[in-house]
């Protein structure tokens, strides 16, 4: 995919600033405390999850398709308690053999993946039987008035947010690709305008 100047130069800096906002900290902490074994994170961005992985995980592999994220991510790698194998790749074409990982992770990434169903199928492929997907994603609100705003705003927002959609029904799409959604919390994040702040946090299992 050919990326423009905004995507390569500006957007990574916006991600580096916006993804470490304090409101995300308890959410990242509670989600990533469940990670175990060999872990693979998609949409690593600039590494905002890094410090929240427990020290007992065996390994952390991370991918992101935006080359502009990689130098910023590398500058944060010293902050984590685990070493990271970081690669330039898209979630729709994961460069890993089937059944390679115990845990796969996506935080605020499935909103931006161009081919969402394919990415979820790839995550399903690379995780071991019984393995888990940990997710923290914003998406479609159950409130019709908010939903209408999300549909309208997405047309513009996807350019500012480098492909980000506000209106994806995350839990439903995850389930549709064969995952068993075992735990799910849905909530508006306080302090965030509702069209941008309806979150899905949970764990899905490859049964
Ligand atoms: C809003 S940022 C979130 C970064 C990080 N996951 C976090 O929680 O701070 C969205 C990330 O998804 C990445 N992304 C976009 N399309 C992707 C794809 N097809 N596969 C994997 N990651 C993708 C972007 O490059 C960006 O790093």
Residue 143 in contact with ligand 1 by CB distance below 6 A: no
pLDDT digits (tens, 9 = 90+) for 58-95: 999 999 999 999 999 999 998 877 899 999 999 999 99
What CATH number does residue 116 fall under?
3.40.50.150
Residue 45 in contact with ligand 1 by CB distance below 6 A: yes
C-alpha 44 – ligand 1 centre gap (Å)? 6
pLDDT of residue 82: 86
pLDDT above 90: residue 3 = no
pLDDT digits (tens, 9 = 90+) for 92-142: 999 999 999 999 999 999 999 999 999 999 999 999 999 999 999 999 999
As a whole number of angstroms, the distance between CA 88 and CA 105 comes to 16
Please state the φ and ψ torsions of residue 131, each to the nearest 5 degrees: -75, 170
pLDDT of residue 169: 98
pLDDT above 70: residue 36 = yes
What is the three-class DSSP state of 122? helix
Contacts of residue 6, Cβ cutoff 8 Å, sequence gap at least 6: 162
pLDDT of residue 162: 95
Any idea which residue has 């994170």 for tokens? 41
pLDDT of residue 53: 96
Sheet holding 180-188, edge to edge: 84-88, 59-64, 38-42, 101-107, 127-138, 198-205, 180-188
C-alpha 16 – ligand 1 centre gap (Å)? 11
Residue 147 in contact with ligand 1 by CB distance below 6 A: no
Work out how many domains the chain is built from and give that number. 1
The two tokens of residue 86 are 């970081």
Task: Give the residue numbers spanning the domain of 96.
Answer: 5-205
As a whole number of angstroms, the distance between CA 133 and CA 48 comes to 18
The two tokens of residue 55 are 């020290």
pLDDT digits (tens, 9 = 90+) for 147-191: 999 999 999 999 999 999 999 999 999 999 999 999 999 999 999
């Amino acid at each position: 995919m050919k990326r423009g100047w905004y995507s390569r130069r500006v957007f990574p800096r916006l991600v580096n600033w916006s993804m470490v906002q304090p409101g995300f900290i308890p959410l990242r902490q509670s989600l990533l405390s469940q990670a175990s074994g060999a872990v693979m994170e998609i949409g690593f961005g600039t590494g905002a999850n890094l410090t929240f992985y427990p020290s007992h995980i065996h390994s952390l592999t991370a991918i992101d398709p935006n080359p502009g994220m990689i130098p910023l991510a590398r500058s944060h790698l010293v902050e984590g308690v685990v070493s990271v194998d970081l690669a330039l790749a898209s979630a729709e074409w994961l460069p890993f053999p089937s059944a390679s990982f115990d845990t796969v992770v996506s935080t605020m990434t499935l909103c931006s993946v161009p081919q969402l169903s394919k990415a979820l199928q790839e995550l399903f492929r690379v995780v071991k039987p019984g393995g888990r997907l940990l997710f923290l994603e914003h998406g479609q609100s159950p409130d019709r008035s908010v939903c209408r705003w999300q549909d309208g705003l997405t047309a513009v927002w996807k350019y500012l947010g480098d492909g980000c959609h506000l209106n994806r029904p995350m839990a439903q799409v995850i389930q549709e690709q064969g995952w068993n959604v075992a735990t799910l919390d849905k909530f508006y994040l306080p302090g965030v305008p509702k069209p941008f702040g309806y979150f899905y946090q949970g764990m899905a299992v490859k049964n």
